Each structure stands twice: as C-alpha cells, then as structure tokens.
Structure 1
C-alpha cells in the first residue's frame, strides 16, 4: 500500500474478504491486497464465518500489524457465505467496494487504481470487473486470461446476467457504495442466509446501473479445489441446489415485471448438475436415473445418451476427465 495517511482518514475504498477455514490461502489473499499501488487510502474488512482452523489467528495478526487498515467482523456462529458477506459489507465506509474471496488473490498491483479511475471517469457506470487468470488445483497450473477470447458485454446487463451469459469473477469486481446502498437489500441476504453472494448481487445492481469490463487480468481465481461449488458430497450439492432454487424464486418475485420463475427450467438445471456429479463420482446407476428424468423432459444430450450403456458411460467419463486435464497442461 503506497500511501501515508492518518488513521483517522476515511477510506475511499473498502475491500471485503469473506473467510471460512482458509488458513492455507487467505494470507496470499491479504498480502495481494496490501501490495496494491494506489494513491488513496483503503480499508480491509474481513468477515470470518466462525472458522475452526487457524484463519482467525492469522487475521488477528494482520490486525495487530496494521490496525489502521483492518477491521475484523468475527461471527459467533457459522451463518453461511451470503449472510456473513452482507454483515461485513454493512461495516464498509468507502466510496467504493472491492471484494476478494479467501482462496483468490490479486496478481495485478494496479487493480484498485485502475477500477477506481474507471468509475471516477465513467459516472454512468456503477460497477466494473476485469479479466482473470485461473489457478487450477491440484495441478497448480496457471491459465492466463481465461476470458480473453470471449465476448464480454458491457452496459445494462440485467437479462444477460439472469441467463448466465456474463462471466463475472466476484474477486475482480469493484462497485460504487451508493449503488449498494440504494439497490442491494442486504437484509434479505441476512434474513434468508443466502448461500452465495455473487449472482444475486449482480442481479440487484444490474437492474439499475451499467456494468463495465476491463480487458486486463488483475485477479487469480482458484478452481478445482474443495469449495461450495466443488464438493464430493451429494448431500451438500442437493442442499445447495435447494437454496439456489429458493434464491431463483426470490429474485423473480423481486422483479415481477421483468422475470418469470420457470419450474421446468430449474428442474433441468438441477438434474444436469446431479448428472454431472454422478459422472464425476463414477456412479452409473445414479447417472442413468437422472438421465431418464432429463430425457422425459426433452433433454437428450451426449451425457444423457451415454447412460444407455455402461461402456459408453465410462468412455464419456474418461474423455471428459482427460480433456479437462489436457486443457490445463
């Protein structure tokens, strides 16, 4: 951090980190934020969701070293990502908010300055995100500029985000605080213990403000390791899908003139996730069950067709697995 400011000075940017049992990675997250080269003062707010490893002690150590920068919000019970995040955001004092998950990090030391300059110059935009690199676990492979050859739309993106057509990495995002204050119902995240914070935030924000994109990689997103979206527990996946469905319904009800909840569409999505999990776990009988339901709903893609025969199932599983490995070599 390249500025000397009084500890009484209000920060222009608040950086929010949500922490839960990531003592092996959160230090890299924090160090990458402290390494930012910018001409303004920023604060770092860490919302820890009742970690049981050494993450809290690590955060306390940073607080002792940099008391003017860090604010720690330690939950007394495990609330889940969405509620923990919302409670941390409520503590933010900055004109802008940036976010970095506790398993990601910023490899570009100019990230905050570039995004700050963009929103200061473009008053009609309320948010900006950037290009990212991938860190693929367990191979430890870095994939540079993951979205470089993709078309990333900008502007008013409400419907595009709803349809999943805008790849936004949460750890690369930068948002005006007044847009959050005006349009983001944080109390909903807290009341309903949202299991995620990114997609609903994009929906609430995108309805009212333009979203920009910088084709410069600033953030390394860790993938392939154990996380909310990557687990070997079928029970956890089913619980997440149930919460996702509730959130999907809630968002649709929040914008009744713009969105309509589609039960069939969500069932197709849910069965697709469970079919992929069955392939990943080499569970042929489960895959066949999900594929049968998908076929009855009119879906007959390659993974569905391959469940008609165990040898085809294993072949498709092998090809998918090895294609994923080759992609990151």
Structure 2
C-alpha cells in the first residue's frame, strides 16, 4: 500500500456522492485505501459512503464512531490512523476533477524526495454566487517550490483537499497542535520545516466555498482578525523564526481592513497573485 486517502466528513450528504466517486475514479499504478473519519454526522453522509464501500474493491476503513470531536481533533485521530507513505486529503464537500490526481502527486513526490508535500492549483466554486475561479499561473515551469517564509506572507494552499503529504512528517507533529484551531496554513508552514512544498500547476481538484464552511461563512473583518490572532500563535509555534515576515502580513491585513477601502474584500482570497497586487499598493 502506497497511500491513504483521508476522507474527512461531517453532515455532507448533499455532496458526498460526487466526493466519493471522484476518489473511486482515480487511476493509479499503486494501491491505496480510504480511511473514513466521520465526525458523528447526523444526516445520511455515512450511510452513503458505506453503500459505496460495499460495492467496491478499494478498501474502506471506517474509524470508530465517537462523540463529536470537532474539525481539528477529528483530523488528529485520522492522521493517527494513516500508516502508508503518503496521505492524500479529501474533505467531504470537495472533489477531484482529474482521474490522475493521485498519480500526479505521488509521481512528483517520488521524483522530488526533497519536498515535504505537494498541493495543486484548484477550481474554487463559489456556490452561493454561482461563479468559479482558478488562480493565475505565471511560472514557466509546471511546478513551484514554496518555503515556510513564503507561506508566512499568506496562505498559498487554500484548501486541504488539494494536498498530498509525506506521512513520516505528519507523524512528527506535536500533539499539542491539535488543541488549536488550525488547518492548511499552519500545517503547510510546519511541513515546510522538513523541505519545500511543491505547488503543482495542473488543476486537478475542486473546492466548494459555501455558507456552511467554517471559514467562508465569516465576514471579511472576522477573517482578517482571525488571521491576525492566529499569526501571534503561529509565530510562537515556529520559534519566532518568521516574526518579521509575519509583521508584513499583519500590515497588509490591517490596511485591507481599516485603511484603503479598495483593498477590503480581498482577505477572502489570500492567493499568490493577490499578495503581489496588494504589496504594490502598500507603502512600506
């Protein structure tokens, strides 16, 4: 077994069929299994997944049903259950749009052992606004190396369902981290301590942005203030190695929230190109 697909779910019956089918359509030269970490869904999410599991050759492993753990603690027990070389994350309202999503990531990581993880460009689906967005790509190569310092300037990942991680580094995560509210940004910065993150050009996954999402239902101001509060915590976790870079990030957010009104609304989309555009307008 080469890879664990980590399926994280909670009350996502509306989307879960497309999610699971996008996993099952994967064409790989290696074997993988699916670890289902359902956080006590009260709808039919788990029943739908079990129907697929009963009629498929790919192994499904269902983690024991417990009390509702919350997003981060559910991830902790899910990571603990992974025992293969790589971990591919799939959240229950996202899906992969390319049958070679897993193959592409594993091939890249096998060929680039210096990288701690990889993540791909993805389709962002703004469900309530009925619009789509794909981040621009201005690199001559079909991949880009991202360091922790670059991540400290702003989240370059944006969605966990586009990530494939080396399990050896996930096993080194401090258990105390799971007492915090964190997701892809901090995880990426920590993984960057073991080697560069690989950002892949090809768009192979889709990320749904809707009002039920923890992050997307927050206002611009709430998101900005949450990021600023998180920075102080993350700075300490990373042993204050990126304090000056974090200060620059805070400055940009504060200008966006309380300064130039034209910069407001961009907090929701912390992307490589928006970072560059914002920095051109900030007087340092």
The TM tier, using the shorter chain, reads 0.7 to 0.9
Deviations along 1:67-126, one digit per CA (max 9) or x if unpaired, are 851111245222221111121011012111111111110000001111111111112112
Give 2:261's match in structure 1, choosing from 288, 302, 311: 302
1:32 paired with 2:22, answer yes
1:259 aligns to what?
242
Give runs of aligned pairs for residues 207-286 of structure 1, distance below 5 A.
Answer: 207-231=193-217, 247-260=230-243, 269=253
Secondary structure at the aligned position of 2:169 is classed as helix
Cα offset, 1:270, TM superposition: 7.9
Distance 2:123 2:248 in 1: 35
3-state SS of 1:216 partner: strand
RMSD between aligned residues: 3.2
Tell me which protein shows more helix as a share of its residues. Answer: 1
Q: Deviations over 1:186-210 (max 9, x none)?
A: x1243x1x33321121011012211
Look at both structures and tell me which one has the larger radius of gyration over its CA atoms.
Answer: 1
Alpha carbons of 1:15 and 1:100: their partners in 2 closer, same or farther (altered >3 Å)? Answer: same
Question: Which has the higher relative contact order, 1 or 2, with Cα contacts under 8 A spaced 6 or more apart?
Answer: 2
Q: Does 1:206 align with 2:192?
A: yes
Given the superposition, is the C-alpha separation of residues 100 and 267 from structure 1 closer, same or farther in structure 2, using an over 3 Å criterion?
same
In the TM superposition, what is the alpha-carbon distance from 1:66 to its structure 2 partner?
A: 3.9
- Scaled by the length of structure 2, what TM-score is found? 0.79
Gaps of 5+ in 2: 266-284
Where do 5+ consecutive residues of structure 1 fail to align? 1-10, 276-293, 295-299, 305-315, 318-329
Deviation at 1:17, TM superposition (A): 1.8
CA distance in 2, matches of 1:150, 1:221: 21
How big is the shift at 1:128? Answer: 1.4
Aligned length: 261
User: Is the Cα contact below 8 Å between 1:20 and 1:50 reproduced in 2?
Assistant: yes
